[in-house]
Amino acid sequence: MSNLRHLPAVDVLLSTTVAADLVVRYGRPLVLEAIRSVLDAARTQAMKGSEIPESDQLMARVSRLLIEWTMPTLIPVINATGVILHTNLGRAPLSLAAQQAVARSSGYCTLEYDLASGKRGSRAVHAEQLLMRLTGAEAALVVNNNAAAVLLTLSALANRKRVIISRTQLVEIGGGFRVPDVMAQSGAKLVEIGTTNRVHLRDYEQALTEPVGLVLRAHSSNFRLIGFTSEPTLAEMVSTAHTAGVSVMDDLGSGALLDTAQFGLAHEPTAQESLAAGADVVCFSGDKLLGGPQAGIILGKAKLLAKIKKHPLARAVRADKLALAALAETLLAYLEDRAVQDIPVWQMIARQPEVLNARAISWADTLGYGDVIEGRSTVGGGSLPEETLPTWLLRLPVPRPNAFLTKLRQASTPVIARIEDDAVVLDPRTVLDDEETPLLNILKVLLTQKS
């Protein structure tokens, strides 16, 4: 305990030259908190018999602690996993045009200001007209994600009302988000029909003999039901519901505006097809197959969208100016028929195996190490389950693959790769063009150290 008398006071450390420099960099309150934290730790260790550090040692710890506290946690990474919509890595990377739109809108902008009248405008205009032209919808609304879109729509159209949904569609997606839970939160009364693997049109007809607020279809964008299964088409569901005077809501989940089948993938229902089939409200994500920012998009009949827009929850889940800027620019790429050329998600999906093979060979030649093998890329992000695309992988047979992955993640620009058959593999499909040089430079350094 006598050692504690040698522990310098807070004011003593705060008066050092090192502390003065740190105050300039971090501000006095944060430096003061760090000094107190370091002294508390030193006091605890001293009571266990450890020596009291010198003042310069204590300030070195303060410096390290401040670096740790202020280190950004949201940083760019290079995705070499081959998973295009990697949920943990932020799903869809934005196009260059979308990034520029975000930068333009980061200051003061016309978010809710009408330049013509000089009066308050509406944030809805920045994406609504583009969505209507692209899909043929009567109206549209953008919120902060698809979960919010579903919750808001159910709250506005089906609160305290019965909502019919097939048991084949009572899904759970990432993070424990369950369709039954969000329905309960909205105030809607869940009415399950059919069985786990099969639902028939007669199940809908029978349920519709009682008062119903809405019929909901939740598209299985993140799983696939196979075997002895069946369910009516959306058009059949719509016809049956409309005969009973009930609206149909189609939760597409991932959502797409292009036909995925043209790229060798299974066909993913598009928003246009859903509306053409007669769905009254359609919801889907902005940061999955659309290739834009995180957003929830609601399309449909103007009368129903008017109710949704007026609901109090609409303000709580509205999209911000940066999301709207990026989304509008992404939608413009579709409208001008340049989505495949400009939007990274579609660029990656459209990349041909021979191009990927040439790129992987070039990597191996540049590094003077590794070999090129065939592999499969996935769309990911809860989209097109079990669907893969042929690719070519750079295979690095390093002695300790897990340790090598750790070093890749600790690089100046972290690289996320994977292990296959006890070797590190990198898929060129998901590496952006401007990331290739930094990726190869990182690999060169690490491969030199691999032994």
Q: Using the Cα atoms of residue 213, residue 215, residue 220 and residue 226 in order, give the sign of their dihedral.
A: positive
Rounded to an integer, what distance in angstroms lies between the CA atom of residue 1 and that of residue 4? 6
| Structure confidence at residue 231 (pLDDT) | 83
Rg (alpha carbons) of the chain, rounded to whole number: 27
- The CATH class for the domain spanning 78-86+345-449 reads alpha beta
Cβ-based neighbour number of residue 121 at 10 Å: 16
The pTM for the full model equals 0.90
| Structure confidence at residue 433 (pLDDT) | 94
| Structure confidence at residue 377 (pLDDT) | 96
Task: Give the CATH number of domain 95-338; options: 3.60.110.10, 2.60.40.10, 3.10.110.10, 3.40.640.10.
Answer: 3.40.640.10
| Structure confidence at residue 382 (pLDDT) | 67
**Greatest CA separation found in the chain?**
87
What tokens does 210 get? 């009682």
| Structure confidence at residue 133 (pLDDT) | 96
Amino acid identity of 423? A
pLDDT tens string, the chain, 451 residues long: the values are 557 778 999 999 999 999 999 999 999 999 999 999 999 999 999 888 888 899 999 999 999 999 999 999 999 999 999 999 999 999 999 999 999 999 999 999 999 999 999 999 999 899 999 999 999 999 999 999 998 999 999 999 999 999 998 887 776 665 556 777 777 788 888 888 887 778 888 988 898 999 999 999 988 755 555 555 678 899 999 999 999 999 999 999 888 999 999 999 988 999 999 999 999 999 999 999 999 999 999 999 999 999 999 999 999 999 999 999 999 999 999 999 999 999 999 999 999 999 999 999 999 999 999 999 999 999 987 677 778 999 999 999 999 999 999 999 999 999 999 999 999 999 999 999 999 999 999 999 999 986 4
- Residue boundaries of the structural domains of the chain: 2-70, 78-86+345-449, 95-338
Rounded to an integer, what distance in angstroms lies between the CA atom of residue 195 and that of residue 46? 66
